[in-house]
Structure 1
Amino acid sequence: MATRMKLKLKTVFVLYFMVSLMGLVYALMQLGQRCDCTEHDLPKDRTISRLRGELHRLQEQIRKSEATKQPQKQPAKPSQPTIFVITPTYARLVQKAELTRLSQTFLHVPQLHWIVVEDSPHKTPLVSDLLVKSGLAYTHLHMPTAKDRKLQEGDPSWLKPRGVEQRNEGLRWLREDRRAQPGGDTQQGVVYFADDDNTYSLQIFEEMRDTMRVSVWPVGLVGGMKYERPVVEGGKVIRFHTGWRPSRPFPMDMAGFAVSLKLVLANPESCFDGEAPMGFLESSFLQGLVTMDELEPKADDCSKVREAICVCVCV
């Protein structure tokens, strides 16, 4: 009887041990498995996705707003003379790119009025749209070049002067507009002729602003030379460093001078002569306005290049 009791207790103990061991093994196996928390993560994932979508939408709104935003022009200083820039332009593949580059430069110049004159019988949408979006004070004109003065296909660029009618049209508008203003004949200002395929240093605009009659400075990369410039002694221009026809009355490039608005208004007949010999276009305009002795050298007595036909160089 006692022996049977021992066997039963031993059997119960073994069974208890086996069950406990199996339970322990099962518990250990469960510890290594991932918890299925999908149902808890779903709401959080949806919130993150919604916030990301909202962020993307706001970023798109900001980007579109910046793209359509008008650039802000530099504020003018009190009583600062206005610079009137006359630019002739004509239709070609790079016209929009070159006008855009020029307008971006002018945005950094306070108190500037851009007069753009198209070589066309009418204003074109390309130039009109560009000027509207430029953020500049501007006047849009047009004046076609006479057929007998137009370059024909295959003609060298120097054969006939370009931009004559357009510059003269800009001068005509400027004279009529200023005279229509109260005290217009005595208004302070400067007139500058800026071609759309040139590059300009911002410094020269500030230097030309106090022009009394005609101010001058060097021009880089012109006429096959690194630069052309007036030669100055004792604060006066005595001659010109140029690669072609230094005997011309004013042997300099269109980009190398600025004229007082008062002087332009006081000489209503002064204009560019389309029949002038090659290289004499600038002289045809300046001869009726000033003498060499009256020229006002800028850019440290014309020792620094402020404007360049291809690339701006300041040395």
Structure 2
Amino acid sequence: MASIRRTLSPYHERHYQNGGHPFSVSVQSQSQKLMSNGKFSSPLPSFGFGVWRLLGGMRYSRRNVLSRCLILFFLGFVLGLTLFGDFEDLNSINFPGKMKLPLVNDRLELKDAVIPRPSALLDRVQLQIEEKKEMNEQLDLNPQKQLIVVTPTYNRALQAYYLNRLGQVLKLVEPPLLWIVVEMNAASLETADILRKMGIMYRHLVCSKNMTDIKDRGVHQRNSALEHIERHRLDGIVYFADDDNIYSLELFESMRKISRFGTWPVAMLEQSKNKAILEGPVCNGSQVIGWHTNEKSKRLRRFHVDMSGFAFNSTILWDPKLWRRPTAAPIRQLDTVKEGFQETTFIEQLVEDESQMEGIPPGCSRVLNWHLHLEARKLVYPKGWSIQENLDTVIATTT
């Protein structure tokens, strides 16, 4: 009988020579590399070597695929957590641009570590901080009160000059500011053109009254503005500014501090007098304690104030409950009183006495506006501007 001799393949020879599964060669080489690496001080490499030998000793079959996957997953999870050992080994790894991190009691301490950052990044962060700081400062500022400046005007020789001069002053005042200009019977195109080109917020009103029954034109014009403020519930500080007066910017900025009613001294200069007359409050700080007056005929007045020498909160007109007014009757100027008494009768509707007034500037020690009377009354043009006869002169021209 013939005998058949089977020779072993090189694969089986390596298997039996090593005394185990052919996978043992690769497992041993990998474990030796792990053990010979001095960077790892953890005992897990020896544990992993045993696990790999266990896996290598298992016969490869379909029933063992699930077991192998579970073991490999668990082994990878454990090695991922503890492969590098202690944090001390991090300092031995050569990362580009690395820095030493101080260790205190086996914990990472970053309190005193200096982390360098690029200069471009520093500039960008600093710019963002400054922008945020500036925005916070703007948001923390209290919004300024609106100024409602009421100006009655009428047709005369210097009307355009006066309106332009007052408008240029108001243009320099910090907003919000509303300029209410009131004309009689009809709105002139010249006035509308001046207001439109001034570049400030304005309202052009018309007071429709029969001029034959009017004693003081300005009283009805101011009442039209008061009615407009009350009807539209405009919130701000109301100030009657005639177009022929002279005002300082400090006066308008001081008005924003008024809570209810503010007053200040006014210097008046008339054509018939060669000296200025001071009229207004005497103050102790911001408290009104008396009045300046030089005219004996005005001693009967309760408050010695010029029309351009006070301002008040507009809510007094349309919110009487806020200021505990005894009556809700409209507050208006009176045309039935004698000349010079319009101011005091109007102020008596706003406040009860001096305790509800505020003197500005503190101490009332400076004159912030002048009331000038430079025009002759009942004349369209001042004296010397008109001629008695027309000049019929014909001038020949040659070409």
Matched, 1:285 2:349: no
The CA deviation at 1:144 is 4.1
Q: Of 197, 219, 242, which aligns to 1:164?
A: 219
Native 8 Å contact 2:282 2:290 kept in 1: yes
Q: Of 244, 255, 258, which aligns to 1:208?
A: 255
Q: Of 194, 199, 203, which aligns to 1:139?
A: 203
Q: Which residue of structure 1 aligns with residue 230 of structure 2? A: 175
Matched, 1:236 2:325: no
Give the structure-1-normalised TM-score.
0.65
Native 8 Å contact 1:85 1:194 kept in 2: yes
The CA deviation at 1:145 is 4.5
- Long gaps (5+) in structure 2: 1-140, 321-328, 374-399
What percent of counterpart residues are identical? 37
Native 8 Å contact 2:279 2:304 kept in 1: no
The CA deviation at 1:234 is 6.1
Q: Which residue of structure 1 aligns with residue 301 of structure 2? A: 248
The CA deviation at 1:247 is 3.1
Native 8 Å contact 1:271 1:284 kept in 2: no
Q: Which residue of structure 2 aligns with residue 219 of structure 1? A: 266
Q: Which residue of structure 2 aligns with residue 82 of structure 1? A: 146
List per-residue Cα deviations over 1:38-65 (Å, max 9, x = no partner). Answer: xxxxxxxxxxxxxxxxxxxxxxxxxxxx
Matched, 1:270 2:331: yes
Amino acid of the structure 2 residue aligned with 1:278: E
Native 8 Å contact 1:88 1:167 kept in 2: yes
Using a 3 Å threshold, how does the CA distance of structure 1 residues 276 and 206 change in structure 2: closer, same or farther?
Answer: same
The CA deviation at 1:252 is 1.1
Matched, 1:304 2:366: yes
Q: Which residue of structure 1 aligns with residue 182 of structure 2? A: 117
The CA deviation at 1:226 is 3.6
Task: Give me the whole-angstrom Cα distance separating, in 2, the residues matched to 1:103 and 1:258.
Answer: 19
List per-residue Cα deviations over 1:251-294 (Å, max 9, x = no partner). Answer: 11011000012222225611100111121101121111102221
Q: Which residue of structure 2 aligns with residue 5 of structure 1? A: none
List per-residue Cα deviations over 1:57-81 (Å, max 9, x = no partner). Answer: xxxxxxxxxxxxxxxxxxxx86111
Q: Which residue of structure 1 aligns with residue 155 of structure 2? A: 91
Amino acid of the structure 1 residue aligned with 2:147: I
Native 8 Å contact 2:286 2:360 kept in 1: no
Task: Give me the whole-angstrom Cα distance separating, in 2, the residues matched to 1:143 and 1:257.
Answer: 23
The CA deviation at 1:299 is 1.6
Task: Give me the whole-angstrom Cα distance separating, in 2, the residues matched to 1:288 and 1:81.
Answer: 22
Q: Which has the higher helix share?
A: 1
Amino acid of the structure 2 residue aligned with 1:240: W
- Long gaps (5+) in structure 1: 1-76, 151-159, 179-183
Using a 3 Å threshold, how does the CA distance of structure 1 residues 177 and 240 change in structure 2: closer, same or farther?
Answer: same
Task: Give me the whole-angstrom Cα distance separating, in 2, the residues matched to 1:113 and 1:81.
Answer: 11
SS at match of 1:255: coil
Q: Which has the higher contact order (CA 8 A, sep 6+)?
A: 1
Native 8 Å contact 1:161 1:281 kept in 2: no
Task: Give me the whole-angstrom Cα distance separating, in 2, the residues matched to 1:296 and 1:133.
Answer: 35
Matches within 5 A, 1:5-84: 79-84=143-148
Using a 3 Å threshold, how does the CA distance of structure 1 residues 118 and 127 change in structure 2: closer, same or farther?
Answer: same
Native 8 Å contact 2:162 2:244 kept in 1: yes
Where has structure 1 moved over 4 Å in runs of 4 or more?
none
Aligned residues: 217
Native 8 Å contact 1:299 1:305 kept in 2: no
